[in-house]
Amino acid sequence: MAETSRTFYSTLIPNFSKPISSIRRTTGVSPATVLKRNSVSCSSISTSTSKDSNIITTNKKIPWGCDVDSLENASLLQSWLTESGLPEQRMGIQRVDVGERGLVALKNIRKGEKLLFVPPSLVISADSEWSCPEAGQVLKRNSVPDWPLLATYLISEASYMKSSRWSNYISALPRQPYSLLYWTRSELDTYLVASQIRERAIERINNVTGTYEDLRLRIFSKYPDLFPEEVFNMETFKWSFGILFSRLVRLPSLDGRNALVPWADMLNHSCDVETFLDYDKSTKGIVFTTDRSYQPGEQVFISYGRKSNGELLLSYGFVPREGTNPSDSVELLLSLDKSDECYGEKTEALRRHGLSAFQRFPVQITGWPLELMAYAYLAVSPPSMSGQFEEMAAAASNKTTSKKDMRYPEIEEQALQYILDSCESSISKYTKFLQGSGSLDLDVTSPKQINRKLFLKQLAIDLCTSERRILFRSQYILRRKLRDMKSGELRGLKILNGFLKFFN
């Protein structure tokens, strides 16, 4: 899943070879089991506390997995799945135009046909059996949530290599997932300077780093025999979380369980389809139902969800072509004016409803949400309207359903102008980035590094172009509304003046 549509040049290439032969276990795990686990040498991993903040950089790559376009590993995965109970498939793994590899129809596939039928026994979830049961028991005793539990599970199983039941699946996973987790802070600052997705990426990176540090201090350091640092470290967690962000699915018919579904996650995304993975109780397998027909040789697609181009880049590392994603949106940053004499009162009203003085709202090509308009009303409202601050803040929050569509005619023009100013401020940032993108510094010595920089730069240009397009449309709508309002006011004044002249 989430194989990008461009060639990615990986530069994080280390060597891992020595098995852990000197680890002494005191928890009942046999020496034979220990010898099956390979170590992950992280001696060259370095962290930066200045320019790159909390982002971990490295010149190594994970020892398991494969290159993103590897068909051999994917074919071995299909063979193993078939031997383990996967029914005969109407799709096969091939190199494709959209994504380095994907599932292609081997036979005619009709619209409305159910495909895959992956049994739950071949699905990885929080209930999956560990090669090292003691490690799983420790995590569950400490009430570790599903996401970090699955991230740790994936690392643990990967470290056992061929001894793990999931070795064929892990070998078919990308060695370096496409994810903004692998962008350095300087790359985020350079290429995504105009987009609010930069802030989301930094938040995600910090969350992953914080999750790892919490597990390391609270659990790993107390059980070094079960969680050796050579295996369970920041670099391997970045890999496992990258896999989860790009491949984990939620199965509504299995009580909303989060799961990795081998083989199904080879399906690539298309904005033109509306079909999703789920558990089918009648066939007792993970399936998806096609919403179009496919001819032999055509790539079969599913939807990763109604996500914006920025969200697709954040988790999956690709950006759809401009104008092809009907769910595309751009986050518009709004903020209260600190010089507003009611700033404190407005901020407190927002805080009570889970919002802050700085708030991001999604804007689509078709318009903006009612919550954004409510926030704008609050931002421009005068002290005489302090009695309405609370209801404005409540309407700006998506946690309430009351009076979201409220209107305040007396300040509507000011609210629209406030949104327009914010919109035009964002447009200027995008325009500045796109105009200067041809001269962005690519001061690197390695050809692979140059290719990587060019790839990231192109992704950023594609994203910023699509997001600016939405803002241009919003700018047009706002200007037209304001023009119409002013024209209406002028007409009203003319009529009023006419009456006054008549009576005079």
Q: Per the annotation, does 269 bind a ligand? A: yes
Rounded CA-CA distance 231/224 in Å is 10
The helix or strand, by DSSP H or E, that contains position 302, with its residue range, turns out to be strand 301-302
Residue in 239, 235, 204, 234 with CA at minimum distance from that of residue 314: 204
Rounded CA-CA distance 89/116 in Å is 7
Residue in 4, 5, 11, 7 with CA at minimum distance from that of residue 447: 11
- List alpha helices for 84-196, DSSP H: 133-141, 146-159, 167-172, 185-191
Q: Per the annotation, does 9 bind a ligand? A: no
CA dihedral of residues 463, 464, 467, 473 (deg, nearest 10)? -140
Query: How many helices (H) and strands (E) in the chain?
Result: 14, 13
Q: Per the annotation, does 279 bind a ligand? A: yes
Q: β-strand 249-251 against 257-259: which pairing, if any?
A: antiparallel
CA distances from 474 to 178, 379, 428, 467 (A): 31, 19, 14, 11
Q: Per the annotation, does 247 bind a ligand? A: yes
The helix or strand, by DSSP H or E, that contains position 480, with its residue range, turns out to be helix 447-503
CB-CB contact of 427 with 390 (8 Å): no
Q: Per the annotation, does 353 bind a ligand? A: no
**Residue 150: other Cβ atoms inside 10 A:** 23
Which residue type occupies 25?
R
Rounded CA-CA distance 311/318 in Å is 9
CA distances from 300 to 104, 138, 199, 285, 491 (A): 6, 41, 33, 19, 57
Q: Per the annotation, does 52 bind a ligand? A: no
Rounded CA-CA distance 92/299 in Å is 9
CA dihedral of residues 167, 170, 175, 179 (deg, nearest 10)? -160
CB-CB contact of 150 with 126 (8 Å): yes
Which residues are annotated as part of the binding site for S-adenosyl-L-methionine? Answer: 247, 268-269
Q: Per the annotation, where are the binding residues for substrate? A: 247, 265, 279, 304, 316
Q: Which residues are annotated as a binding site?
A: 247, 265, 268-269, 279, 304, 316
